[in-house]
Each structure stands twice: as structure tokens, then as C-alpha cells.
Amino acid sequence: MTPEQLQGDRWIACLHPADRQRTLEAWQTAIRTQTLYEVEYRMQQGRTGAYRWFLARGMPRKDNQGTILHWFGTCTDIEDRKQAEQQLKASEENWRVLAETLPQLVMVARPNNQNEYTNQRWRDYIGFTVEQTQSDRWAYLQFIHPDDREGARAHRQHAQDTGEMYEHEERLRNSQTGTYRWFLTRAMPVYDEAGQLVKWFGTCTDIDEQKRTEQRLKESEENWQTLAETVPQLVWRVQPDSWVDYVNQRACDYGQTTREQLLGHGWHYLLHPDDKERERVTLDHAFRTGIPYEVEFRLREGQTGCYRWFLTRGMPVCDETGQVIKWFGTCTDIEEQKRAEQQLKESEENLRVLAETVPQLVWTTRADNRLDYCNQRYCEYTHAAFEQLQGHGWRQFLHPEEAEGILALRHQTLETGEPFESECRLRNGQTGEYRWFLARGTPVRDETGQIVRWFGTNTDIEDQKRIEEALRQSQERIRALIDSNIIGIVSVEGEEEVLVEANEAFLHLTGYTQEDMRSKTLNRVKITPPEHASFFERAIQEVNARGQHTPLETEVICKDGSRLPVLVGSVIFQERPRQTISFVLDNSARKELEQRKDAFISMASHELKTPLTALKLQTALLHRQLAKQGIPASAPALSNMEGQINKVTRLVDELLDVSKIQAGRLEYLQETVNLDALLREITETMQQTSPSHRIVVRGIVETSLIGDRDRLGQVFINLISNAIKYSPDAKTVEMDLSASEDAVTIQVRDHGLGIPREQCDKIFDRFYRVTDPKQKAIHGLGMGLYIVAEIVKRHRGTITVDSEVGKGSTFTVTLPRKRDA
Ligand code: ADP
């Protein structure tokens, strides 16, 4: 530009538009006030067109009156200074922004400790303004936790004295909440070029979380150790190179050794030699892969020197990068468990052996009812392999009619856990036939009471079922019989023979009622005559021996006290408790008939007796007259006639005796009887009339009895004549006499036909004769032994017979020596 171009106000155009107004104002103010003009502006460089900063200054020159003559001015290029200023401002700006952005509390302090700057965060937290801290160089100590103040002061003093960095962990109070948090306070000294301390730059970093974590870590480490010492296991920690750096006290106690000995690889010496290899392989794998491991091995107990089984578990601990930094582990004593397992195994083994031995089908299922074992017998019966039966396979063998019910029952018992029992049919795999089984299942529980299995058996009850069915049918038949009321039937229970049930026919006969039966107040003794007790005793013996007794003629005492003749037969119906059923037939009609027969016999024999006596007398008379007339030739015929008459007389006598016994009218004399003399007399007489047999008498009784001589004689005559009569082929009949202090015994023995065992008792009954044809061929009426037994009984003696068919019989009569008065 030329000077002309700048004259007047035109220089203004050279200024930066933004500065023109301001510059003009300053200039006008200077003119008006006549003072120094000073202004900074940007002026365009004519050549480049760029603006540069200038400091313009104008000084008025005045005359004596003070009127301005000239203005002298200078423009100094201040572009470089301006730029430097600008940069400093910008950097300061940046620093502040940074200081405000930082998550820390930031402050700048002068060398004398007075704050020069604090960021917003600092002010918010501490609650002090810059000015407040300026008044007292130790003011900041107020917001440090009392416990940390002393440390803080000392550290600061030291930093100031030495000019070293200040670093201190201290708790600072939050002015808003009044609570303290941990901070790491750091202050850095700043020096100028001359090495003079000009400032402290400080930050407080909140490390509260970190502190707490550290604390927690410390506590957890302590807890861990405490835990490790408390647990009932052996606890250890091992470094990744398998170096053991911790073991708990229990481990030392177990090995009876010191911790030092166990650390490192020391513990290996406790390991059972047989388990070393397994342990090594497992650990190698675990350490290589970083996968938790489990291994069982035996460790030697220091005190006993015995090895016990342990379950060892190792667990890796990794850092953030996933690197294993250590392994923690425990060894749990499982000796007992091992033993129990062994025992279980053995007992399972035993169970299996047992299961294979028993005659049942044996099975086990898991808790969900799936079959997991069955014995060989099961496979054989179903003709199926185990694989076909396992799980639910066995169900196919159930009979369709029961299948659903059985499964429902199983379902229910699985829920309730109750043992079950049910009957079902199972198909025989080979024949296709179904048989009945009784299925029984029991749950097996573990120590917590949880069902772990079901154990069961299927017992073949087909035969039992059939028997039951047969029994049911027979019971039905019996019931039908009882209900038919054709004969009286009464059910008797127990040793007391209590009447528990009777049909209408029985009640009708006796007059008792169902109520009498229900009340169970009647028993056999009550309803039978006491004099028949012995008959019943014999009947009971027979029932015990053969399950039943031969019909017994007796009487029932009816409800009204009257006696009803009956025929009773009984059978055992049930053994335990004893139950017998008796059949009762009204015998009164027969009894009456018998009475009439007895009356007839009695009458007939009386009627016969009179003409017989006359006949006998007349024959004797005739005998004598013929002898007188000297006609002996007719004597044999006559004596034959006499013999026949005697026979008939004896017969009639016996008939009379029988009817007297029946009527209870047989009379006995009471006299002293010399038994030896009596027997001698009888045998001599009988030897004369029976030359076919030799009668041998052995022994003597040497005693007298009180009784009826003729009646006793009748006993032995009868026994000897029977012995002769029923031993047609024998040569002798023997009689043995003996005596004891109380009784005399007379035995009559023959070597004849003998008597079948079952008829031995009956031969003493009235009119009873042995049914054997050989015996039948021999004449007789079955009255002799009846009278004999009656006479012996009346003399308080006994008579028994011992006999063998084809060999002979022995009749034994025992008589008391002294009869009671
Ligand atoms: P009987 O008049 O029939 O001989 P008893 O009362 O004397 O009558 O005898 C009854 C039955 O006992 C006889 O019918 C006979 O079958 C049998 N009996 C008696 N004694 C003997 C004997 N000594 N040997 C074989 N059977 C005998």
C-alpha cells in the first residue's frame, strides 16, 4: 500500500473485520480522553493476505495549553507472542478438561501445601472450596479418617522435606454421607527449569472396593484354612507341578508324621504300593488336561500301620486366563463304605445263590418297576432269555385276565412303597399253559429310607389252588349235606368239644336253638350221659388215630332234660384248631325194638325154662326106670337125649343171663372163693368131656377172693370151652395163673384161628361173632363173652384179648384180690 492509501481513516480497512469496531472505539476514546491509546488487533499483510497480530500504541503530543498537536504511534508485531499465549491456554484448557474427566479426585497445590486447583469431583467429595483449604495448610487432615491422619501427616512431611513423591492409602470422608472410603492418594512434585519446586499434582484414587476385596480374600483364605482344618477329610493343595504345598493337620495325624514330611512329594510314602501306578496315571492325566479327577487308593495309617481306602478328589483352580494355578483336593476315608460294598457284594452273591436254589421264581426290579434280575427258574418256566424278561418284558407272560389288575397294583405299591401280595397266572413258555402263582414283592430301602429296589418271588400255587378248589367243593357238598337236614349234624371245636354249629335236624332232635350254638355254651360233656364218658373216651382215641370213629350208640341229653337214644359218628374236619363234625341219628326206634326183643328173649327163655326142667326130670326118671327094668341097650340114646337137653338148658340159661344183664338184674353172691380149687375142678371136669385137647394148667394163685363162685366158674368154663372150640386143629389149651400183691391174673391161651385185630374189642358185645367164614362154621350165638365180660366187670376185674389170626388167642382176666366192702 502506498502512504496515501493509508491516510485518514482508510487504514482501518487493513484490520481484521472482527477487530475494526473495537479498534475504532479505543482510538476515539483515546482522542476524547487525550490519554494513551493502546490496542491489539490483526492486520492484513498486503502481500500474502494473511493477518498478523499487532500491538498499536499512540501517544498524544500537546502544547502548553494542553491541546494535542500530534499523535505518535507504533505498531509492534506480536504475532509470535499471541500464538504462544494461545497454545498455553489451549493446553491449560485440555489439562482441566482431563482433570475434570478423570475418575479420581484431582488437586494441584502450591509448595506450601495450599490448594491451587481442585476438580469438581474433589470438591463434591471433600466438600471444601479451594479457598477454604487455602486458609490452613493442614486443613485437609480434617477429612482423613482419624486413624489414618497421623500416617498421612508423616508421609506428607516426608515428601515435602525430601521432595519425593507422596503415596499413602487413607480413608477420606465423603462430605455428603459422612462415611469414609479408602483412597490411594498420590502427589507428584513439579519443578521449574531452575530446579525449584513449584507445585504438587495430586490424585486420590478410590480403592475401597479393592480394599474390601482384599479383606474378603484375606478372610476367605483364613476361612478356607479353618475349614480345611475342620473337615473330616485329609485336605491338601498342590501346585501345577504336583508339588504339595499344604496339608491339613488331620493328614499329619493320620500319617503320624509332620507337615514338612508330607509336603512336596513326601506324602507318597503313605500310598499303598499296589495303588501307586493307578494314582500316577490319574494325576498325570488330570494335570495335563486340567480336568477335575477322582481316584481311590489306600493310605497307611501311621498308628496301626494298616492301610485304609480313601476317595481322593482333585479340583483345579484357574486364574482369569484359564491357567491352572493350583489344585485343591480332599481324601475321604471310604474304608467302611468299601467294606460295606464288599459285604453287599458278597451278600448279593449269596442272595443270587439262594435265589437260584429256592423253588420259586425270584426277581428284582429297580425302583421304577423295571425288572433287572430273575433267576434261572424264571427263565426256564417262561422259556425265555433274561433279555426277553428284563424291563417290562415279563409282562407278556401275565394272563390277560389279571394283567391289568396286577399292573395297577404295582403302580399303586410303587407310590405307597407297601409290600404287596397277589395271585396271578403266568404262562409256561413251553406248553403255553397258565399256572397260578402267588406273587410277593417287598421294597428294599437305603439308609435314607429311599426305595432302591423291589425284591420278589412268585410261588407256584397251582396245586394249592386245585386243592383249595377241591376243598371248596367238598365244603360245598358238606354244606349241602348239613343243609339237607336228613340227619343231625353238629360241629364241635377244640379240646373242650364246644358245639359251635348245628343244622336244623340236630336242633329239631334235641330241642336246642341256634342261639345255644352261637353262645358256645354247650359242650359234648354237657349233652351226653356221664355213664357213657368211657365210650366217648374210646371214640376220641379212635378219632385221633384214624380221623373218625365207628358209630357209637349213646344218648343225647336234650334241652328239656330228656334222653334221646342216638347213633353218633364223628370225623375230623380240621386239625388245628381241632374241629370235628358229628352225625347224629335218632336211634330211639331201634332201641325200642331192641327192648322189645330183649323182653321177648327174656319171656321166651322163661317160657322155655319150665318145660325144659320138666323134660329133664322126666328123662332122669325114664333113665332110672329103664335101668330098673334092665334095658341098658337104650341107655346111649337116652344119654344122648340128656346131652341135648343139657345144651338147650345151657343156652336158655345164657339167654336168661343176657336178659338179666340187660335189665340189670343179674345177681351175685358174696362168698369166699378158693380160686385154685375152683380152677382145678373146672379143668378136670372139662378135660373129661373134651378129650380132643389137653388142658395144661401152670402156676397157682394161692389166694381166695370174695365173689360169686358159680359166676366166676362160668367165666373160666366159657373161656376154656371157646379156646377148645376155636382151635379145632390144636392139641393143647393152656392156662397160666399168677398173682401180685393186689391182683390175680388168669390167662387162657389157645393155638387156634385167632381174631382179626379190629374185631378184638367187639367180641365182648352182645351177640357179636367174628365174621371170618372159618369161625362162622363153628356154632355159637355170641353170648358167652358178653356174659363173661359182665361178670368180670362186676367183680371189678378186667378182661382183654391178645390175638393173631392163624396163630391163636390169649384171654387175660385180672381180678382184684380184695374186694372193697
Ligand atoms: P360164641 O357162642 O359165638 O362162641 P362168644 O361170646 O363166646 O360166643 O364168643 C364171641 C365170638 O368170639 C365167637 O363167635 C368167636 O368168633 C370169637 N371167639 C371167642 N373166643 C375165641 C377164641 N378162643 N378163638 C377165636 N375166636 C374166639
CA distances from 2 to 5, 215, 251, 389 (A): 5, 82, 106, 125
pLDDT band, residue 776 (cuts 50/70/90): confident
Grouping H, G, I as helix, E, B as strand and the rest as coil, residue 185 is: strand
Query: Counting atoms of ligand 1 from 1, which one is nearest the CA of 775?
Result: 16
pLDDT band, residue 634 (cuts 50/70/90): low
Reference 173, options 181, 165, 185; nearest CA is 181
Which numeric CATH code is attached to 667-816?
3.30.565.10
Distance 782 CA to ligand 1 centre (A): 7
Q: Which residue has the higher pLDDT, 88 or 571?
A: 571
pLDDT (0 to 100) of residue 135: 66
Distance 391 CA to ligand 1 centre (A): 79
3-class secondary structure for 286-347? HHHHCCCEEEEEEEECCCCCCEEEEEEEEEEEECCCCCEEEEEEEEEECHHHHHHHHHHHHH
Cβ burial of 708 (10 Å; 0-12, 13-18, 19+) is: buried
Distance 729 CA to ligand 1 centre (A): 16
pLDDT band, residue 598 (cuts 50/70/90): confident
Distance 794 CA to ligand 1 centre (A): 21
Residue 343: pLDDT over 90: no
Q: What is the average pLDDT across 789-803?
A: 94
The answer to whether the 231-339 and 667-816 domains have the same CATH topology is no
CA 326 to chain centre: 47
Query: How confident is the model over 648-684, as pLDDT tens digits?
Result: 888 888 888 888 888 788 888 899 999 999 999 999 9
Domain ranges of the chain: 3-81, 102-212, 231-339, 358-466, 484-663, 667-816
For 369, left (φ over 0), alpha (ψ -120 to 50), or beta? Answer: left
Residue with cell 439308609: 447
pLDDT (0 to 100) of residue 147: 92
CATH topology of domain 231-339: Beta-Lactamase (3.30.450)
Q: What is the average pLDDT across 318-325?
A: 85
Reference 105, options 113, 94, 115, 90; nearest CA is 115
Q: What is the average pLDDT across 575-586?
A: 88
Which of 657, 753, 763 best tests ligand 1's pocket when mutated (most atoms within 8 Å of CB)? Answer: 763
Query: Counting atoms of ligand 1 from 1, which one is nearest the CA of 718?
Result: 7
Query: How confident is the model over 404-446, as pLDDT tens digits?
Result: 999 999 899 988 989 999 999 999 999 999 999 999 999 988 8
Distance 722 CA to ligand 1 centre (A): 6
Which of 751, 769, 813 best tests ligand 1's pocket when mutated (most atoms within 8 Å of CB)? Answer: 769
Residue whose CA lies nearest to ligand 1 atom number 9: 782
- Cis status of the peptide bond prior to 577, with omega within 30 of 0: yes
- Please give the Cα distance from 493 to 479 (Å, whole number): 17
Question: Is the beta carbon of 781 within 6 A of some atom in ligand 1?
Answer: yes
Which of 693, 722, 764 best tests ligand 1's pocket when mutated (most atoms within 8 Å of CB)? Answer: 722
Residue whose CA lies nearest to ligand 1 atom number 4: 780
Query: Counting atoms of ligand 1 from 1, which one is nearest the CA of 788?
Result: 6
Q: What is the average pLDDT across 186-198?
A: 87
- Please give the Cα distance from 330 to 316 (Å, whole number): 12
- Please give the Cα distance from 173 to 125 (Å, whole number): 8
At 64, list the grid cell. Answer: 502548553
Distance 764 CA to ligand 1 centre (A): 9
Largest CA distance in the chain: 250
Query: Counting atoms of ligand 1 from 1, which one is nearest the CA of 727?
Result: 24
pLDDT exceeding 90 applies to what percent of the chain? 43
Question: Is the beta carbon of 759 within 6 A of some atom in ligand 1?
Answer: no
Question: Is the beta carbon of 570 within 6 A of some atom in ligand 1?
Answer: no
Question: Is the beta carbon of 750 within 6 A of some atom in ligand 1?
Answer: yes
CA distances from 312 to 82, 304, 522, 662 (A): 79, 21, 79, 103
Whether 355 and 374 have beta carbons less than 8 Å apart is answered as: no
Four-residue CA torsion sign, 397, 399, 400, 406: negative
Distance 726 CA to ligand 1 centre (A): 7
Residue 819: pLDDT over 60: no
CATH topology of domain 484-663: Beta-Lactamase (3.30.450)
Residue 609: pLDDT over 90: no
Q: What is the pTM of this model?
A: 0.41
Which numeric CATH code is attached to 3-81?
3.30.450.20
pLDDT (0 to 100) of residue 214: 87
Grouping H, G, I as helix, E, B as strand and the rest as coil, residue 802 is: strand
Whether 741 and 703 have beta carbons less than 8 Å apart is answered as: no
Q: What is the average pLDDT across 589-606?
A: 84
Neighbours of 160 (CB within 10 A): 18
Residue 300: pLDDT over 50: yes
pLDDT (0 to 100) of residue 136: 67
Query: How confident is the model over 99-122, as pLDDT tens digits?
Result: 888 888 998 888 877 788 888 898
**What integer best gives the mean pLDDT of the chain?**
88
Reference 181, options 105, 100, 102; nearest CA is 105
Query: How confident is the model over 201-241, as pLDDT tens digits?
Result: 889 999 999 888 888 888 887 888 888 888 888 999 998 88
Residue whose CA lies nearest to ligand 1 atom number 21: 722
Q: What is the average pLDDT across 786-815?
A: 95
Q: Which CATH architecture has domain 358-466?
A: 2-Layer Sandwich (3.30)
Which numeric CATH code is attached to 102-212?
3.30.450.20
Grouping H, G, I as helix, E, B as strand and the rest as coil, residue 465 is: helix
pLDDT (0 to 100) of residue 53: 92
Residue whose CA lies nearest to ligand 1 atom number 2: 780
Q: What is the average pLDDT across 516-529?
A: 93
pLDDT band, residue 791 (cuts 50/70/90): very high
Q: What is the average pLDDT across 379-406?
A: 92
Rg (C-alpha) for the chain, rounded Å, is 70
Question: Is the beta carbon of 722 within 6 A of some atom in ligand 1?
Answer: yes
Grouping H, G, I as helix, E, B as strand and the rest as coil, residue 438 is: strand
pLDDT (0 to 100) of residue 818: 67
Which of 770, 778, 788 best tests ligand 1's pocket when mutated (most atoms within 8 Å of CB)? Answer: 770
Question: Is the beta carbon of 769 within 6 A of some atom in ligand 1?
Answer: yes
